[in-house]
A and B are shown apart, each in its own frame.
Chain A
Amino acid sequence: MPPRKRPAPPLEDPTPASRSPPADQPSEPSDSATPTISQSILAKLPSQERQMYIVIFEAGSKGMWMQDIRKKLMLGPQIGNKIARNLVSMKLVKEVSDVRHRSKKVFMATDFQPSAEITGGTWYHDGRLDSDAVAAARRSCKAQVERLGVATAQMIHNGILRDNPNAGYTIDKIRDIVRTMVLDKVLEEVKSTGEGEFSSIRSGTVCYRVAWAAEGGMMEGIPCGICPRIDECSPEGVISPSTCVYYKKWLQMDF
């Protein structure tokens, strides 16, 4: 997959500036019928507003970044903003937040609902990660795997839908969640052998079961193992085991 264009400097990340929440953003995706541009509206609009409305409308559910709009129409920043504001006040266009770039102004025709790419999808709310929703989904998945022993993503999904028909997760969302649980070693990925505990699953299918927590070594139990200064520490140095406060604390603990 080619990398998407997303500048994301880790060190000097901009703080989310003046982010205006989208006007009316229902959480459910809209109907499948694609909206078409209304000629009667176009007829009523002044020329510059009309041009901008067409450009934004064509961007559909992805919306368009102000800077891209201006480039396309060759407008200066001030005039560009003014036209956009006009369109917003006419309720033809709305400003939406882009989960990836909260400081960017993105405009979208009101006929569209922001795509998952913009909103971040199910797990995002108002452009922010909905940790509670994620945690709830993970709990449901784990409960299903615990109940079933081993389960495919489909089995987990079916189980959740049966227990809670209103949960509204798609199978893809469940897959995403299950994958993060594998990363966290809450679940482990195994291939069905078609025998024994896998007898109900076709051989070769990827399935999941509850994983064992990783076992650490002694390192994490010794001050030096987790010490942030270990690279500067030496018997003759300023930071040295003989004068180490971490050790003092550690050894005193048991007495």
Chain B
Amino acid sequence: MVSQHGILLAISIISDHFGPLVSKVCGCLLRHGPLSLQDIIRRLQLSSGQVKNSLLVLIQHNCVQAYSTPRGSGDKTVTLYLAIFDNVLHRLRFSKFLSLVRVDIPESEVLLEGLLQNGRLTFDQLVGRTISKAPEGSPAPTREEIRMNFNKLVYAHYVERCPRPEPFFDPLADEQPTSTRKRAPKAVEIVLSLEQKILRTAALSDAERFSEIPYFMEGSSNANEHDNHAVAGGKRKHEDLEVDEEDSIIAENEVLWRTNFEKFIFCLKKKFCAERKKTKLKLGTHVIWEAFFEANVTNNDSKTVTSPINRILERVGQKEGGTSMTLDQIISVLNDLECISTTRNPEDFTFDLNKLVEACRNDEIESLVKKKHGQEAYTIFRLLLKQGCPVETDEITDRTILDKQVVHGTLYKLWKDEYIDSERVPYVSGTGGSQFFVWRVKNTYREQFIDHLYHTALNLRHMVNNLAELLLEGTKDETKLRNRKNILVLALTRHDESLMLFHDF
């Protein structure tokens, strides 16, 4: 369940991008969970047309997923609409997604931009848009060029075919795994939220999601080179192409494409981890750390990255000072960096991103505790986190070697700020009854922190909007205002990194 301020933040984003009506509908869905059209109309007292249009906008921009579900005991079904909180928040990161592609596949940036701006497009629409956007004076790209650049995005999984528009989902029957769930791990299955279950039901298989647009135009026969990646479902096999050509063209024209946020978030996660650790590396190990990340092969999870040693060596060799390093040296540094190889796969080195992410989360919260309540609070908070169980006041004093009065004062501050809980424990001794206090970290401290993250982002946006309005009105302090707004926008961008760290990574 999304926290109070998470919902408010999502509403504010939608309101800024699509206006108050759409944001009302989105907010209603976020607060109440999936609802039918009738329910939304009733709750918001809006006309059916207004709600329908808002839903269309939200679906177009991947912020809502529709699904049908049984109604009553008969065969009747009803369509429900589910707001996708994560996708609303991703709207804050579009510029980050674009810069990733700008570095990786610059020639495809304009195509991604088209999808980000429009949510979902068919290839035809994308071609039309790209041609009309071509800079004046330069020749407009051909459809074939666009197709090739587009397939690069699909091949890299930056772009995917849209999920099923309205899958059937029966919450009562969802225990049985559906046949389409290719991504579900075989062994231990984590408990999924309703939202995740519905999105999984709607998702296409990976082969379908990332099947590229095959070449089927007359004329240029040498343009087949990208087709060998197109390992799609049976009907897209090469042999079938000739037979089904006509059908395929029609089908391709109808297929809707969208940005694959998962992939971008994974890239940002990788980048975040690489950079966080970079600042802590010893002299001379940078080269190897960079090479390790450049040599990554695609993993099928988002928790780790793996690089084969020969690719790492190749990359190290290309870097300054890299040629003089021996294999033993490199492997020893890799181990130091916690890039581990297993005996089963001695050639592959794997780094656990999630472990680092977890450490960074702790660092951020602890560092904030220090900033808010001082060094002693930091020490005590870390002690309580490490112990993971209630600790008695005097044991805290003993273990931290801090003054008793200071410990008492600090515990009170932490307790008041809802980081820790205390409990009075009665104690019966030979000399009569007494009591002592034990302390533990509240198990809600993370959620509270995340809610504050959302709240802070919301307030920053509020301030940015205030300044933008002032600028529109026009004042003589324009440069001053503009500078302030830039500071806020910058802060918001950096703050989003924390949001991703805690919510998306």
Taking the complex as formed, is A24 at the interface, i.e. its CB lies under 8 A from any CB of chain B?
no
**B400 CB contacts on chain A under 8 angstroms:** 180, 183
Does B403 interact with chain A (Cβ within 8 Å)?
yes
B415 touches A10 (CB 8 A): yes
**Which of A39-47, A156-164, A217-225 is near enough to bind chain B?**
A217-225
Q: Is the CB of B364 within 8 A of A216?
A: yes
Contact across chains for A11 and B412 when beta carbons are under 8 A apart? yes
- For B280, what are the chain A residues with a Cβ–Cβ distance below 8 Å? 212
Interface size on B, residues (CB 8 A): 69
Q: Which of A119-164 contact B (CB under 8 A)?
A: 123, 128-129, 131, 134
Q: Does B466 contact A (CB under 8 A)?
A: yes
Q: Is A7 touching B436 in the complex (CB atoms < 8 A)?
A: yes
Q: Least Cβ distance of A134 to chain B in Å?
A: 6
Q: Do the beta carbons of A10 and B371 come within 8 Å of each other?
A: no
Chain B residues, CB < 8 A from A169: none
Chain B window 350-368, contacts with chain A (Cβ cutoff 8 Å), 1 for yes, 0 for no: 0000000000101110111
Expressed in whole angstroms, the minimum distance between the Cβ of B412 and any Cβ of chain A is: 5
Known A-B contacts A3-B425, A10-B412, A129-B403; the reply to A217 vs B495 at CB < 8 A is yes
A218/B480 contact (C-beta < 8 A), A185-B382, A226-B371 known: no
Q: Could you tell me the dominant secondary structure of chain B's interface residues? A: helix
Residues on B with C-beta less than 8 A from A196 are 332, 336
Asked if A218 and B498 sit within 8 Å, CB to CB, the answer is yes
CB–CB B393/A10 < 8 A: yes
Stretch binding the partner chain, chosen from B73-81, B113-121, B245-253, B448-456: B448-456
A28-80 residues with Cβ-Cβ distance < 8 A to B are: 65, 67-68, 71
Q: Which residues of B contact A220 (CB under 8 A)?
A: 367-368, 371
Q: How far is the CA of A65 from the CA of B484 in the complex (A)?
A: 64
Q: Any chain A CB within 8 A of the CB of B383?
A: yes
Q: How far is the CA of A176 from the CA of B415 in the complex (A)?
A: 26
Contact B382 A217 (CB under 8 A): no
Q: Is B297 part of the contact surface with A, judged by Cβ < 8 Å?
A: no
Q: Are B393 and A6 in contact (CB under 8 A)?
A: yes
The reply on A177 being an interface residue by CB < 8 A is yes
Interface members, chain B 448-505 (any A CB < 8 Å):
452-453, 455-456, 459-460, 462-463, 466, 480, 483-484, 487-488, 491, 494-495, 497-498, 501
Q: Which residues of A contact B491 (CB under 8 A)?
A: 218, 221-222
| CB under 8 Å from chain A, chain B span 399-414 | 399-405, 408, 411-412
Instruction: Check B403 against A8 for contact (C-beta < 8 Å).
Output: no
> What per-residue 1/0 map shows which CB atoms of A211-255 lie under 8 Å from chain B?
010111111111011101010010100000110100100010011
A215 touches B279 (CB 8 A): yes
User: Quick check: A3 and B438 within 8 Å, CB to CB?
Assistant: yes
Q: Does B71 contact A (CB under 8 A)?
A: no
Structural contact, B462 and A241, CB atoms closer than 8 A: yes
Known: A129-B403, A230-B452. Contact between A215 and B434, CB under 8 A? no
Number of A-B contacts (CB under 8 A): 162
Contact between A5 and B368, CB atoms less than 8 A apart: no
- Asked if B431 CB lies within 8 Å of chain A CBs, one says yes
Partner of B480, one of A4, A65, A255: A255
Using a CB-CB cutoff of 8 Å, which residues 345-403 of chain B contact chain A?
360, 362-364, 366-368, 370-372, 375, 378-379, 382-383, 386, 392-395, 399-403
Assess whether A225 is in contact with B462, with CB atoms less than 8 Å apart. Answer: no
Contact B498 A217 (CB under 8 A): yes
- Write the chain B residue with the least CB distance to A72: B431
Whole-angstrom distance from the CB of A199 to the nearest CB of chain B? 11
In the complex, the answer to whether A235 meets B382 with C-beta atoms within 8 Å is no
Given contacts A215-B276, A215-B360, contact A184 B460 (CB under 8 A): no
Complex: A128 Cα to B375 Cα, angstroms:
20
What is the bound-complex CA distance between A33 and B223, given in angstroms? 96
> A119 CB to closest chain B CB, in angstroms?
13
Identify B368's interface contact among A11, A123, A128, A225, CB under 8 A: A225
CB-CB under 8 A from A128, the residues of chain B are 403
Inside 8 A of A165's CB, which chain B residues have their CB?
A: none
Decide if A226 touches B372 in the complex (CB within 8 Å).
Answer: yes
Let me know if B437 is at the binding interface, CB within 8 A. Answer: yes
* Inter-chain contact A183/B434, CB cutoff 8 Å: no
- Quick check: B386 and A183 within 8 Å, CB to CB? yes
* Given A219-B498, A221-B491: A233 in contact with B459 (beta carbons within 8 A): yes
The smallest C-beta distance from A2 to any residue of chain B, in angstroms, reads: 10
By a CB distance below 8 angstroms, the chain B residues around A225 are: 368, 371, 452, 456
Decide yes or no whether A100 CB sits under 8 A from chain B: yes
Given contacts A179-B399, A225-B456, contact A218 B497 (CB under 8 A): yes
Contact at A251–B487, with CB atoms within 8 Å?
yes
Nearest CB in chain A to that of B402: its residue: A129
Are A7's CB and B434's CB within 8 A? yes
A67 to B429, CA, bound (A): 13
* Alpha-carbon distance between A123 and B279 when the two chains are bound, in angstroms: 36
Residues of B within 8 A of A247 (CB): 463
B47 within 8 A of partner (CB): no
Q: What is the minimal beta-carbon distance from A4 to any residue of chain B, in angstroms?
A: 7
Q: Indicate whether A7 sits within 8 Å of B435 (C-beta atoms), given known contacts A100-B394, A180-B400, A254-B487.
A: yes
Q: Do A224 and B483 touch (CB < 8 A)?
A: no
With both beta carbons as reference points, the residue of chain B lying nearest to A9 in the complex is identified as B437
Interface contact B367-A6, CB-CB below 8 Å: no
Chain B positions near chain A (C-beta within 8 angstroms): 276, 279-280, 332, 335-336, 360, 362-364, 366-368, 370-372, 375, 378-379, 382-383, 386, 392-395, 399-405, 408, 411-412, 415, 417, 422, 424-425, 427, 429, 431, 434-438, 452-453, 455-456, 459-460, 462-463, 466, 480, 483-484, 487-488, 491, 494-495, 497-498, 501
Nearest 4 Cβ contacts at the A-B interface: A216-B367, A217-B498, A214-B363, A8-B393
Name A's B-contacting residues (CB within 8 A): 3-11, 13, 65, 67-68, 71, 99-100, 123, 128-129, 131, 134, 176-177, 179-180, 183-185, 193, 195-196, 212, 214-222, 224-226, 228, 230, 233, 235, 241-242, 244, 247, 251, 254-255
**Interface CB pairs A-B, < 8 A, 15:** A5-B429, A7-B434, A8-B437, A10-B408, A10-B422, A180-B399, A212-B279, A214-B367, A217-B368, A218-B495, A219-B364, A222-B456, A222-B460, A224-B460, A254-B483
